[in-house]
Amino acid sequence: MSDRIYDVIIIGGGPGGLTSGIYTGRENLRTLLLDKMLCGGWLNMTGVIENYPGFPEGINGMELGARMKEQAQKFGVGIRELEEVKSVDPSGEMISVETAKEVYKTRSLIVSPGSRVRELGVPGEKEFLGKGVSYCATCDGPLFRDRIVAVIGGGNAALEEALFLTKFVSRVYLIHRRDKFRGEKYVVGELEKNDKVNFVMNSLPVSINGNKDVESITIKNKETGQDELIEVEGVFIFVGVEPNTEFLQGVVEMDEGGFIKTDVNMRSSVPAIFAAGDVRSGNVRQISAACGEGTVAALSVRNLLVEY
Ligand code: NAP
């Protein structure tokens, strides 16, 4: 067990967690940030970000994450990467945070472990993962140069990633289960202007097919009930996200999707545990919003520790 007692432990080194760290570090609060991977979170899988204020030309996701990490470290935040939190126990005088390596004690906790991709759950999805099936256009898009691909989903992720893929591929079939997109109209407009994009609406993926690699996708038209086979070499799936909250089951109150419920101060149902970013119930999954929530959580921690 670590004999150091922290003022605050932050779980997750995405924009929410790193912003919290910048604030608590700058307040001279003894801060430890744990990330099961490398800091940056989803930023590491994002190409150019055009809607983060202050960068009119856009900024590369990985670069933005690296800058946030550097800023947190500048204010004395201890960062431990590749250290996954297994459990949290708030029942004692201090909160215990257990990883595979250590048990840490802290006066307060900010939980910002983000979210992960949701699987589609059709035959072929698991079998062809890395053999044509992907959840990350930024990572895998360039591998599909001059090929035909399908993108599944109708939210911002699917729309933006489909647009990004048009830089490389010869054709994108954008397959969505309804007749309207959930994502931004601006991006829909950009896709409509792009002659590499085919919209396949009111259609549900049935299976992803192939031998060694993906060769086609079967979809069912919801209106006609007909199955159709589209020849593609890649299938990019963007059907939403799930929160990384398993280690907090039974500790804090969550909504039916497993997202953490908070009040306006980012306080969870446990008074010294706060949440910020994608993991929070009602979050809008925007970098700027995660930063804002990370700020509020850090200021709430400061107020709590003043009372301590
Ligand atoms: P999302 O908004 O929840 O969209 C998921 C899409 O997948 C929906 O269109 C949904 O269809 C479809 N879907 C879900 N389950 C499906 C299934 N089993 N089969 C077929 N289709 C299925 O998820 P997201 O696009 O990952 O975005 C999540 C959040 O992140 C949103 O708040 C989004 O605005 C935000 N985001 C923002 C940006 C940005 O601002 N740059 C980029 C990416 C994401 P229905 O529409 O019928 O429900």
Q: What is the DSSP string of 248-307?
A: GTTTS-B-TTSPBP--TT-B-SSTTEEE-GGGBTT----HHHHHHHHHHHHHHHHHHHHH
Residues 195 and 279 in one domain: no
Instruction: Tokens 């983060």: give the residue.
Output: 52
Q: Which residues line ligand 1 (CB under 6 A)?
A: 51, 120, 152-158, 160, 177-178, 182, 204, 238-241, 284-286
Q: For residue 128, is it within any domain?
A: no
pLDDT in tens, 111-169: 999 999 999 999 999 999 999 999 999 889 999 999 999 999 999 999 999 999 999 99
Q: For residue 88, is it within any domain?
A: yes
| CA 152 / ligand 1 centre spacing (Å) | 10
**What span, in angstroms and rounded, lies between the C-alpha atoms of 255 and 261?**
6
List the beta bridge partners of residue 95. Answer: 106
**Residue whose CA is at the smallest distance from ligand 1 atom 3:** 240
Q: For residue 123, is it within any domain?
A: no
Residues 150 and 247 in one domain: no
Strands 78-80 and 31-34: parallel
**Residue whose CA is at the smallest distance from ligand 1 atom 34:** 156
Of the residues 64, 156, 287, which should be mutated to test ligand 1's pocket, given the most ligand atoms within 8 Å of the CB?
156
Compute the C-alpha angle 124/130/131, nearest 5°. Answer: 60
| CA 208 / ligand 1 centre spacing (Å) | 20
Q: For residue 220, is it within any domain?
A: yes
Element (H, E) at 8: strand 5-11
Active site residues: 136, 139-140
**What span, in angstroms and rounded, lies between the C-alpha atoms of 139 and 223?**
34
Residues 27 and 113 in one domain: yes
The total domain count for the chain is: 2
Residues 158 and 261 in one domain: no
Residues 27 and 71 in one domain: yes
Residues 109 and 258 in one domain: yes
Residues 249 and 272 in one domain: yes
Give the domain extent around 164.
Answer: 133-237
Domain termination site, one of 188, 207, 237? 237
| CA 182 / ligand 1 centre spacing (Å) | 7
With contact defined as beta carbons under 8 Å apart, do 19 and 68 qualify? yes
| CA 148 / ligand 1 centre spacing (Å) | 22
pLDDT at 5: 96
Q: For residue 122, is it within any domain?
A: no
pLDDT in tens, 203-257: 999 999 999 999 999 999 999 999 999 999 999 999 999 999 999 999 999 999 9
Domain termination site, one of 215, 237, 259? 237
Question: Atom of ligand 1 at shortest distance to CA of 121?
Answer: 18
Lowest mean pLDDT among 1-5, 26-30, 264-268: 1-5
**What span, in angstroms and rounded, lies between the C-alpha atoms of 80 and 38?**
9
Q: For residue 125, is it within any domain?
A: no
Total residues found in the chain within this entry: 308
With contact defined as beta carbons under 8 Å apart, do 61 and 47 qualify? yes
Residues 294 and 259 in one domain: yes
pTM (2 decimals)? 0.84
Residues 103 and 198 in one domain: no
Q: For residue 171, is it within any domain?
A: yes
pLDDT in tens, 46-98: 888 889 999 999 999 999 999 999 999 999 999 999 999 999 999 999 999 99
Residues 112 and 250 in one domain: yes
Strands 115-117 and 241-243: antiparallel
Residue 3 banded pLDDT, cuts 50, 70, 90: low
Residues 251 and 113 in one domain: yes
Of the residues 115, 182, 235, which should be mutated to test ligand 1's pocket, given the most ligand atoms within 8 Å of the CB?
182
Q: Domain containing 227 — which CATH number?
A: 3.50.50.60
Residues 69 and 205 in one domain: no
Domain termination site, one of 192, 222, 237? 237
pLDDT at 1: 63
Q: For residue 83, is it within any domain?
A: yes
